[in-house]
């Protein structure tokens, strides 16, 4: 499974029990763009040190899928089908290329991709 950036961020919350189990699975992957999104947002330096450390540990311990030609090709196809962010298209393309589900809280961002299986850790709580 590919863990979306938001799942990584929630997993770093103290006491998280919804997302961390997905991130810690042996088959969990992250798209390379997720490392950029999680560690590169403008207010990262304003976070408490403990939170920054947790995010860095989660990213460092994740299996990161490099951006290759097949993922780029699939990402281009997705963006041509429907307007979506570059990061979301790369994350979805990564899941599709590896033929694994995408774990995300933002189901709406991916609902138009019929061949993509989406798991929302928060949906089970509803």
- Distance of alpha carbon 61 from alpha carbon 35, whole angstroms: 11
CATH number of domain containing 64: 3.40.50.1010
Mean pLDDT of 105-110: 94
DSSP bridge partners of 30:
64
Q: What is the distance between the alpha carbons of residues 100 and 10, in angstroms, rounded to a whole number?
A: 21
End-to-end CA distance of the chain: 22
Residues in the chain: 126
Tally Cβ neighbours within 10 Å of residue 67.
15
Domain that holds residue 64: 2-125
Q: How many helices (H) and strands (E) does the chain have?
A: 6, 5
Confidence of residue 70 (pLDDT cuts 50, 70, 90): very high
Answer yes or no: is pLDDT of 125 > 90: no
Question: What's the pLDDT tens digit per position in 27-60?
Answer: 999 999 999 999 998 889 999 999 999 999 999 9
Count of domains observed in the chain: 1
Listed in order, strand segments (DSSP E) in 1-126 are: 2-3, 29-31, 63-65, 102-103, 118-119
Arithmetic mean of pLDDT, 49-75: 95
Tell me what percent of the chain is helix, strand and coil, each rounded to the nearest 5. Answer: 50, 10, 40
Calculate Rg over the CA atoms of the chain: 14
């Amino acid at each position: 499974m590919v863990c979306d950036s938001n799942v990584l961020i929630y997993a770093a919350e103290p006491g998280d029990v919804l997302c961390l189990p997905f991130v810690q699975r042996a088959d969990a992957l992250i798209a390379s763009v997720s490392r950029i999104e999680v560690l590169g947002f403008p207010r990262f330096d304003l976070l408490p040190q403990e939170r920054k450390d947790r995010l860095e540990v989660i990213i460092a311990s994740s299996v990161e899928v490099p951006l290759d030609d097949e993922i780029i090709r699939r990402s281009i196809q997705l963006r041509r089908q429907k307007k979506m962010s570059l990061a979301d298209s790369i994350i979805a393309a990564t899941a599709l290329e590896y033929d694994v589900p995408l774990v995300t809280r933002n189901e709406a961002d991916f609902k138009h991709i019929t061949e993509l299986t989406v798991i929302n850790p928060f949906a089970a709580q509803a």
